[in-house]
Amino acid sequence: MYVPVPGMKNKMRLAMPEITYTSRLALALKALQNKATMDTLQFVIQAADAMKKPELLDNWDLDAAFRTFAINQGMSAAFERPFKQVIALRAARAKQAAQQRAMDLAEQAANAAGKLGKAPQQIQDQVSESIPQTNPGQAAA
């Protein structure tokens, strides 16, 4: 089956076939792959949590593992987002989180400044006395 090429008028390309496994052996192998994925991730997540070493998860491409798991379970690839779109969604989420952190920090700073209050009158007087007084329009000596 041919489908139109996006952005190219009168161009067609061969559509990606969707393969459905029906043999008992193929389905059993896919189930074993998913069980191995679940068991491994469960073990590694528990170990990483117990040892306070989340970097242990860096050994696996979890995006690929989750995509393969879903396909092995029979989920259609039609629901899978292109990876560029996933990256864009993550970047937007990270930007929004950074903006929220900045707003939270600004609010905390404003609250802290409000709690400081004014300096005691004696200190205000000392600072005022140490600043040279000038008349408007006259340069300080």
Q: Quick one: 28 and 74 in the same domain?
A: yes
Based on the fold, state whether residues 86 and 75 are members of the same structural domain: no
* Whole-number pLDDT of residue 15: 67
Domain tally for the chain? 2
> CA 67 to CA 62: how far, in whole Å?
8
Query: Within this chain, do residues 70 and 93 fall inside the same structural domain, yes or no?
Result: no
The whole-number pLDDT of residue 136 equals 60
Looking at the DSSP assignment, which residues form a beta bridge with residue 4?
12
Q: Which regions of the chain are under pLDDT 50?
A: none
At residue 23's C-alpha, the angle toward residues 77 and 32, to 5°, is: 70
Residue 36 lies inside a defined structural domain of this protein:
yes
Which among 77, 84, 40 is positioned nearest to 62, based on CA atoms?
40
Within-domain flag for 16: no
Structure tokens at 17: 């076939």
pLDDT score, position 71: 87
Q: Are 83 and 63 in contact (CB under 8 A)?
A: yes
Supply the pLDDT for residue 8: 75
Shared domain for 30 and 72, answered yes or no, is yes
**Owner of token pair 């989920």:** 75
